[in-house]
Structure 1
Amino acid sequence: MEKKLLFLMLLYTPFILLAQQDAWVYLKDKQDVANLVANPTTILTQKAIDRKNRHSIVIDARDVPVNETYILQLKAATGITVMAKSKWFNAVHVRGSEIDINNLLTSFSFVDHIEFADKSLNVSKKIQQKQQSKFEETLTTFNYGSSAPQIQMIKGDQLHLANYTGTGMTVAVLDGGFKNVNTMLGFQRLHDAGNVLGDYDFVKRDDDIYTNATDNHGTWVLSTMAGYLQDQYVGIAPDASYYLFVTEDDPTENPVEESYWVEAAERADSLGVDVINTSLGYSTYDNPNYSYTTADMNGNTAFITKGANIAFEKGMLIVTSAGNSGNAGVGAPADSPNVLTVGAVDPSGNYAFFSSVGSPIQPTQKPDVVAQGKSCAVITDNDVVITTADGTSFSSPIMAGGIACLWQALPNKTNAEIMQLVRESASQYSAPDYLLGYGIPDLQLALNSALSVDNNAGNNTINVFPNPVKDVVYFKLPTNENYVDVNIFNILGKHLSHAFITPTNNQIDVSSLSNGMYLIKLESVNTSKNIKVIKH
């Protein structure tokens, strides 16, 4: 009898689910906007304010939370369940029957308009696939162990040698579950440093993302960035700080997950997050009426893509998986022109057969770049067990962690500037295609390019080369300089050496210096200049 009841229940459930609709309810206004924007510490952390100020990001009405009074009224409405909220869109994601949802427009004066996830239900405005969301998926010298190939492929190891391991950078990981992350030896270094700054499950509405987690996808993803097992494994950004957010509701495929993602991105912004990694993608749903078309992957249709565009405007850098759908193409938010979309290659740098390809439908080159996504080394939720996994789920966080290290080295660059440096450093920047995008980035080259431009900016024409340097550093003096006083310091400010440089005596032997970053101070009658140089 129990089995028959269960069978009947399973048969009946899909009809119940299809009767329930998902929709975004857009609100007309917010409360006390002018005062809150004028006093941003009431709605943002100081770190978020500092990041916005550093990059000239305007604090505006989108930073003001949704009016909670409105949300309470919507929650009390007949047949309505409030699933998520978005301050950027001033919208609430609701679930209920079509009739009950439409009644909100006439019942509440603060409702501006409603957009159903099922586009056929929208009278005047239409919203526009979810790919399998788990895309099957101090100067420190590290012994990388199993993770060496995936880090060395994009020259992340060279950034580490220069002390850029993510310190001071904050990364939000938006994913499925983070099973056992709180107890694993593979993350003990992360926890001992206090670098898990917070967590939240936007699906279950609690902060227990570890013990109740059945999904280990986020655990594996996080390991590529922050995992650490002495002499066995090192994540690419082991000293960054992290927020861990669950936005993926694994058993179902529903557009509410887009809303959870946007809500998490908004929280990340308010917390001062620098980089978001999302190994998720959306295009098709359990209810086919909710699904996006290929033409919808145009960079500004999917709710999550529009949210990613705002996240970029707010100064964050979003790195996302291209997807594992091959010729079926990228999903959302990978279609956004404002995210760095990462495809996958194998350990030899060749296109991985599953990696989603771009198309002319996307307004910009997709994927942007690629990293190792086949046979990636990951630490499993069984803790010290290291295995290999396939998927752009892993090429994305490897790139995101590398970018956190690069941005640490170039803190005054904007998110757009960092993204462009990464693209320009890639192996086929001059001839991109829809398989590899601009190719495999060289993060050391990206850093050197930025330093070279910065070092030679302005009217001061003293040139220092090569950079990075192996044995000898050379100086080219302008015609109005007869000599330059040169002092070399390590990154802790300790003075290491001094020399006078002239047009004929224009080199210094630095072969005895250890690998790392150094500051060269140049002074002359006409010039005072500091230059960063990498020694390797």
Structure 2
Amino acid sequence: MFFISLREAYAQELHAWIYFTDKPNVTASIASPQSILTQKAIQRKARHGIAIDDRDVPVNQSYVAQIQSQPGITYKTQSKWFNCVHVTGLETDINALTTFSFVSSVDFADPTKMAQINNHNKFVQTTMPPLTYGNALNQINMIGLNDLHDLGHTGTGVTIAVTDSGFPNVDTNPAFNQLRNNNGIAGGYDFVAGDNSYYGDHFHGARVLSIMAAHEAGNYEGSAPDAQYYLFRTEDVATETPVELSYWVAAAERADSLGVDVINVSLGYLGFDNPAESLSYTDLDGQTAFISRGANVAFEKGLFVVVSAGNSGTSTSHPYISAPADADGAFSIGSVTATEQLSNFSSIGPTFDNRLKPNVVAQGSSTALITENGALVSGSGTSYSAPLVSGAIACLIQAYPNVTPLQIKNAVEQSADNFMTPNNQFGYGIPDFGAVFQILSTIQLEGLELNHYIDGSKQFVIDLPQKHPAVKARLYNLMGQCVWNGMLENEKPLDLNSFNSGIYIFHIEDMNRSIKVVF
């Protein structure tokens, strides 16, 4: 009786996004980006030639406060990228918010959508008996990640945000001793609870993290053991509601502000507890679901977004990927077995608008991992193939910090064993990160690193390759501000006397290349 009445009460409450008309102090904030972003975030944007814009400016908190104070409205979270808040309430109470002059529109979690495909087993957990020595080797070698590790690229200096359901015992688990001793946990936040209790809740996030960050000498090595990590809880396993989409976007925005390089998303959304709010296949066009739109902005902002494809491969009604794996800015990872066969649970493509998905595959069946209690076991799900790739991407960024996310994406796909004949089961296939390392080594301007100089009168001269007599370029200071843009011509001096002495970044737009200059 209690269960029935609770469901009836819940069904009356709707999720919605409330969009605002403007933001405060946009011009001043962009002119002083250190007031809204960390220095690491500013420098990352400068390296990749990504402009700081109004989406980096926080939401007007006076607007938020007025929304929070309205009767019948429950505030959940907010998004600066989309200048909105996520609320729940009765339809009439939510619609009443349109009377505020600062509210531009209200977007309900689409009450006309098709009924949900309700699968509460989100993660496909399969815990196996303890593994013997070396069982993590297959999943690393399958994608050629051992080649990067052998070169010393283990994620040092690169930051990964893990968005998941909780990280119990990561602060005490011996498998993370090396991570903690090296200050590898940069911080975290529980967006569901609205506090710093991310070392609790559901075990899934701790297991996902172990695939990247765990280290047990002689027994286990993660895909990026020397990276730094932010731990963000965005998933509430007790329920399945649209607010989790907004929690994730809030976490992605936090990651961007902190200068994170890679986001691991071992999550996916389709059906919700209220079927009227569920997503359908028609929504999986990369532009409709709120979380997918957020993934696109994150990629545009310079973050590499790695997303599990989903575990619906055996479904007769919807074997396809979920959100945000449908986003063009999401690098979606399917699953194969230890013998490189497609895992039967691995979700397939295409997206509704007929784009290829997944992008690539990695071992997600019987993946070696370490539990929240420190046990070495195996588990299955695309949740576990994604962190293998996230860690590998971090190792690449360590090796090539100036290469853009798009260049990395293209190189990883090019390295994969199905690149010439991609399909919607394997995508481009199993990547070879040793080959990716070689591919990225060719993405250089011939002689650009050596053949430029600044003479005593602060004249910048560059010796361009013959096929590039002139290139479009922008000059950024270390605050991320573009202080000059124009054409650089071969061996033609550019006068820098109007700029203060210091460190600057030239971004060569025509060739997606950045170089540091000091004068």
Q: TM-score range by the shorter chain?
A: 0.7 to 0.9
| Cα distance change on mapping 1:270 and 1:131 into 2, 3 Å | farther
> Which residue pairs with 1:191 in the alignment?
180
| Distance in 2 (alpha carbons) for counterparts of 1:43 and 1:129 | 40
> Which residue pairs with 1:265 in the alignment?
252
Q: Are 1:393 and 2:383 counterparts?
A: yes
| Cα distance change on mapping 1:131 and 1:421 into 2, 3 Å | farther
Match runs of 1:97-496 below 5 Å: 97-106=90-99, 108-120=100-112, 134-137=122-125, 145-210=134-199, 213-326=200-313, 328-359=319-350, 361-383=352-374, 385-454=375-444
2:6 equivalent among 10, 13, 17: 13
| Cα distance change on mapping 1:23 and 1:133 into 2, 3 Å | farther
1:28 equivalent among 11, 18, 21: 21
> What's the offset of the Cα at 1:451?
1.4
> Which residue pairs with 1:521 in the alignment?
none
Secondary structure of 2:134's counterpart equals coil
| Cα distance change on mapping 1:423 and 1:214 into 2, 3 Å | same
> What's the offset of the Cα at 1:144?
7.8
> What's the offset of the Cα at 1:130?
8.0
Q: Match of 1:136, as an amino acid?
A: V
| Cα distance change on mapping 1:372 and 1:256 into 2, 3 Å | same
> Which residue pairs with 2:471 in the alignment?
none
| Cα distance change on mapping 1:363 and 1:91 into 2, 3 Å | farther
Structure of larger gyration radius: 1
- Identity over the aligned pairs, expressed in percent? 47
| Distance in 2 (alpha carbons) for counterparts of 1:233 and 1:375 | 15
> Which residue pairs with 1:491 in the alignment?
none
| Distance in 1 (alpha carbons) for counterparts of 2:215 and 2:122 | 23
> What's the offset of the Cα at 1:9?
2.2
Secondary structure of 2:140's counterpart equals helix
CA contact (8 A) 2:332 2:359 kept: yes
* Runs of 4+ displaced beyond 4 Å: 128-133, 455-460
| Distance in 2 (alpha carbons) for counterparts of 1:323 and 1:305 | 14
CA contact (8 A) 2:337 2:364 kept: yes
> Which residue pairs with 2:43 in the alignment?
50
Gap runs ≥5 in structure 1: 1-7, 138-142, 461-536
Secondary structure of 2:396's counterpart equals helix
| Distance in 1 (alpha carbons) for counterparts of 2:119 and 2:431 | 25
> What's the offset of the Cα at 1:234?
0.7
| Distance in 2 (alpha carbons) for counterparts of 1:201 and 1:129 | 27
User: Deviation per CA, 1:30-76, whole angstroms, max 9, x where unpaired?
Assistant: 11110001100000000000000000111001000111111111110
| Distance in 1 (alpha carbons) for counterparts of 2:442 and 2:363 | 28
> Which residue pairs with 1:63 in the alignment?
56
> What's the offset of the Cα at 1:177?
1.1
| Distance in 1 (alpha carbons) for counterparts of 2:236 and 2:370 | 23
Q: Match of 2:233, as an amino acid?
A: V
| Distance in 2 (alpha carbons) for counterparts of 1:67 and 1:352 | 46
CA contact (8 A) 2:18 2:86 kept: yes
| Distance in 2 (alpha carbons) for counterparts of 1:287 and 1:360 | 24
User: Deviation per CA, 1:414-463, whole angstroms, max 9, x where unpaired?
Assistant: 01101111000000100001110000000000111221453867899xxx
| Distance in 2 (alpha carbons) for counterparts of 1:388 and 1:413 | 34
Q: Match of 2:161, as an amino acid?
A: A
| Distance in 2 (alpha carbons) for counterparts of 1:459 and 1:78 | 61
| Distance in 2 (alpha carbons) for counterparts of 1:454 and 1:91 | 40
| Distance in 2 (alpha carbons) for counterparts of 1:324 and 1:57 | 34
Q: Match of 2:124, as an amino acid?
A: E
> Which residue pairs with 2:71 in the alignment?
78
| Distance in 1 (alpha carbons) for counterparts of 2:257 and 2:449 | 39
| Distance in 1 (alpha carbons) for counterparts of 2:273 and 2:393 | 35
| Distance in 2 (alpha carbons) for counterparts of 1:45 and 1:364 | 35
> What's the offset of the Cα at 1:242?
0.3
| Cα distance change on mapping 1:360 and 1:60 into 2, 3 Å | closer
User: Normalised by the size of structure 2, how large is the TM-score?
Assistant: 0.82
| Distance in 2 (alpha carbons) for counterparts of 1:50 and 1:133 | 40
| Cα distance change on mapping 1:195 and 1:458 into 2, 3 Å | closer
| Cα distance change on mapping 1:360 and 1:114 into 2, 3 Å | closer
Secondary structure of 1:377's counterpart equals strand
Secondary structure of 1:188's counterpart equals helix
| Distance in 1 (alpha carbons) for counterparts of 2:56 and 2:147 | 37
CA contact (8 A) 1:131 1:283 kept: no
| Distance in 2 (alpha carbons) for counterparts of 1:245 and 1:129 | 26
> What's the offset of the Cα at 1:337?
1.2
Which deviates the most, 237-246 or 449-458?
Answer: 449-458
| Distance in 1 (alpha carbons) for counterparts of 2:213 and 2:28 | 39
| Distance in 2 (alpha carbons) for counterparts of 1:176 and 1:145 | 28
CA contact (8 A) 1:133 1:280 kept: no
Secondary structure of 1:103's counterpart equals helix
> What's the offset of the Cα at 1:382?
1.2
| Cα distance change on mapping 1:133 and 1:173 into 2, 3 Å | farther
Give the structure, 1 or 2, with the largest relative contact order (CA under 8 Å, sep 6 or more): 2
- Root mean square deviation, CA, Å: 2.0
| Distance in 2 (alpha carbons) for counterparts of 1:393 and 1:443 | 20
| Distance in 2 (alpha carbons) for counterparts of 1:160 and 1:239 | 10
